[in-house]
Amino acid sequence: MESIFDVESLRAQSKAWRLSGFTVAIVPTMGNLHSGHLSLLDRAKDLADRTLVSIFVNPIQFGVGEDYDSYPSTIKEDLQKLEIAGVDTVFMPDLKELYPGGTEVDTRITVPEISDILCGEYREGHFSGVATVVAKLLINSMPDYALFGEKDFQQVLVIRRMVIDMLLPVQIVSMPTCRETDGLAMSSRNRYLNRQERGKSPAIYSALQSAVERLRNGAFTVEEIEQEGVISLTEVGMKVEYFSIRRQKDLLPVNSSDRDIVILTAVWLGSARLIDNLKVTLD
Ligand code: PAF
């Protein structure tokens, strides 16, 4: 596995692969890799001849007071995992490499509407930060495929829309959320949970599952189900930002004709902000 650190080498690598007729898949990450990332890598290897992973903790997607400075970094273990997974190249730029003009006054990409709801309401500028860094990575690596996990359901929609609007010639592939055996969605931020909080955390997945059952059952209104979700999570000591039933395609509120639905939630458990979602297709 080759490690590269600058954009120039990323371009050269990508060009060499393309000249050799290889297809390329990129998995953008912020490191601290877990099984969720590894499932993206497996799929990337199935799809393309060459796989590229980026590791970069992107400051502009973190708000003031968020966990940018304490975001878990496990670079040595990450590199071992990537080596074992058979990744071809890992790109690990520093801040100056991706933001040559700094991050105070710089060009950003903002995907309208979808970026302002749900997580966007609570994390101002977050999705603009994500769209900007992902665009930089895609433009400079020119992959055929880019893979993302569906735990970040809203992020995937933002990226899909950015790629359409910016005419980027890449196929966005999303993969199902990987869960611990008790249902907790895998996330680097699970590391912030202490023992007691970790014990409570499966309540998130249970609440989503109950909401799916209630939706299928048909005897409850959307508002009742959302309220029940908030109550059940609050009762176990979580601070709920939202528990919301939306359309899969654009995350707008559902109406009676919608069949492809997703239930999304964001909660605080101790110092960890956790998100999760569950898709449901009604018959
Ligand atoms: O999902 C993540 O880890 C990040 O938001 C991403 C897509 C790597 C952009 O920094």
The reply to whether 64 and 133 lie within a common domain is: yes
183 lies in a domain? no
Q: Which residues pair with 172 in a beta bridge?
A: 146
Whichever domain contains 263, its CATH number is 3.30.1300.10
183: left (phi over 0), alpha (psi -120 to 50) or beta: left
What is the SS3 assignment for 175?
Answer: strand
Binding-site residues, ligand 1, Cβ < 6 A? 28-30, 58, 61, 130, 133-134, 152, 155
How large a percentage of the chain has pLDDT more than 70? 100
In tens, the pLDDT along 4-32 reads 999 999 999 999 999 999 999 999 999 99
The reply to whether 114 and 169 lie within a common domain is: yes
In tens, the pLDDT along 143-174 reads 999 999 999 999 999 999 999 999 999 999 99
**Cα–Cα distance for residue pair 198/191, rounded to 1 Å:** 9
**Cα–Cα distance for residue pair 68/75, rounded to 1 Å:** 16
Closest ligand 1 atom to Cα of 134: 9
DSSP output for 115-169: TTSTHHHHSTTHHHHHHHHHHHHHHHH--SEEEEEGGGHHHHHHHHHHHHHTT--
In tens, the pLDDT along 73-127 reads 999 999 999 999 999 999 999 999 999 999 999 999 999 999 999 999 999 999 9
The reply to whether 205 and 142 lie within a common domain is: no
Residue 194's pLDDT band (cuts 50, 70, 90): very high
Closest ligand 1 atom to Cα of 159: 7
Point out the domain boundary residue: 175, 210, 241.
175
181 lies in a domain? no
Residue nearest to atom 2 of ligand 1 (CA): 29
**Cα–Cα distance for residue pair 89/91, rounded to 1 Å:** 7
37 catalytically annotated: yes
- Output the CA torsion 144→82→95→187 (10° steps): 90
What is the SS3 assignment for 28?
Answer: strand
Point out the domain boundary residue: 175, 197, 220.
175
182 lies in a domain? no
The reply to whether 166 and 272 lie within a common domain is: no
Whichever domain contains 24, its CATH number is 3.40.50.620
213: containing domain: 188-278
Mean pLDDT of 57-69: 97
How large a percentage of the chain has pLDDT more than 90? 99
Structural domain tally of the chain?
2
